[in-house]
Amino acid sequence: MRLRPIIPGWLLRWFCLVTAVANITGNVFLLLFYRPLFGWLDIPLPRDLHLFTLECVLSFTMGVVALITYVRPDRLVLIVGIVGKSLYAGITYYFWAIHALSSWFMIFVVWDVVFVGIFFLYWIQLAAPRLFELSHSVFAGLDTRHDGRRALVLALSLTGNTRQAAARLTRGLERSGYEVDVEEVVPEERVFHQPFTFGRFLGTVIRAMFRRGAKFRPIKADRRRDWDLVVVTAPTWMLGLAAPMESLLADDDHRDLFKGRDVAAVVVCRGAWQRSQAMMVYRLERAGANVVTARGYSHQGWEPARLMLLWWRLITKRTRLFGVDYGLSAETLNEVEQLGVDLAHRVRNRPHWTLLPEARHA
Ligand SMILES: Cc1cc2nc3c(=O)[nH]c(=O)nc-3n(C[C@H](O)[C@H](O)[C@H](O)COP(=O)(O)O)c2cc1C
């Protein structure tokens, strides 16, 4: 299944304004009118007025953080918002759980938890603001002056899904007249090597959790080849881009693979693709690539069977559970092949990157 961002960036920004207005005005209102309001709702008056005022001020501050984010979207400010709202939700929940607060306050907990999710999604979007558009269209390629039809497809794959997707995308490109070099990104450390024992599986998961970089075998493809398109394909590991690909995209010695070229970013996953895709686009743009599209493809089946099947496949190597097969469906693979065709036919009239400030891509 091909995936699109759940909520576009502009809408997430408006949500920030919603919580800004609600937190700022709501807390002023609460401080001014808590007596009649609490009486009306039959809530006992706060025992410690100083503590109650402090809570309102903190919540008001979160509103200010949201307002700053709306006015000038910034990832660091969003982290402050995520931490602040999580703490606020956690503490309010705690006091409710020990019966020190009325159940009405659970509204604030739900509100804050929802906005932690919204802030997180916005934080992902800000890593690559064009993510929404990139995931449902193919942007203009660079004007290469010669009619190049040569592509490099890079694939990182532990259990074969991304390899399969890369092969189908290659077929789509070749069907449209492209000559394609395909190269696997091979992780060097044993922990990533097949067959995946339970120990290696655990090692990969833990490393992915802590987002540790990974060594990979240097790409052998002949750099003198004039690829007008590079396709990067990789899976999601622990809600982020698989480590060896993340390291490769950040590696100075491999920057020339992407710099000044059209690049397509493709993520394969069980279901969580948005962050990996944002990471991929962000890294590629930093490397000076003209990212023409970014796609996410998820496994067939339904949750939680898909999730259980993933662990089942990694640990036992079996590929079927509860009637669900592991990996991408035939339909999804057809979509991937079609992406190859679409990429081959992309418009190529974008002025070269050198027109843009060089520092952005240094
Ligand atoms: C260590 C590890 C962690 C994973 N974590 C996630 C995850 O957080 N979210 C998700 O949707 N898929 C996750 N997956 C599933 C892979 O993205 C998915 O199985 C993908 O198809 C694997 O591609 P491959 O067969 O090319 O290796 C994880 C897989 C591995 C090996």
Q: Which ligand 1 atom is at minimum distance from the Cα of 270?
A: 11
Q: pLDDT > 90: what percent of the chain?
A: 69
Q: Is the CB of 238 under 6 A from ligand 1?
A: yes
CA of 154 from ligand 1 middle (Å) equals: 17
Question: What does the angle CA 119 – CA 359 – CA 251 come to, to the nearest 5 degrees?
Answer: 75
- Tens digits of per-residue pLDDT, 25-54? 999 999 999 999 999 988 888 888 898 899
Cβ atoms of residues 253 and 355 within 8 Å: no
Q: Which two tokens stand for residue 61?
A: 């501050």
Domain boundaries of the chain, sorted by first residue: 2-127, 131-361
Q: Is the CB of 165 under 6 A from ligand 1?
A: no
- Tens digits of per-residue pLDDT, 164-223? 999 999 999 999 999 999 999 999 998 888 777 778 888 888 998 888 999 999 999 988
CA of 238 from ligand 1 middle (Å) equals: 7
pLDDT band at residue 281 under the 50/70/90 scheme: very high
- Tens digits of per-residue pLDDT, 127-177? 888 888 898 899 999 987 666 799 999 999 999 999 999 999 999 999 999
Rounded to whole angstroms, how far apart are CA atoms 263 and 134?
11
Q: Which ligand 1 atom is at minimum distance from the Cα of 239?
A: 8
CATH domain 131-361 topology = Rossmann fold (3.40.50)
**DSSP character string of 290-346:** EEEEEEEEE-SS-TTHHHHHHHHHHHH---EETTEESS--HHHHHHHHHHHHHHHT-
Ligand 1 pocket: which of 237, 239, 246, 315 to mutate (most atoms <8 Å of CB)? 237
Q: Is the CB of 269 under 6 A from ligand 1?
A: yes
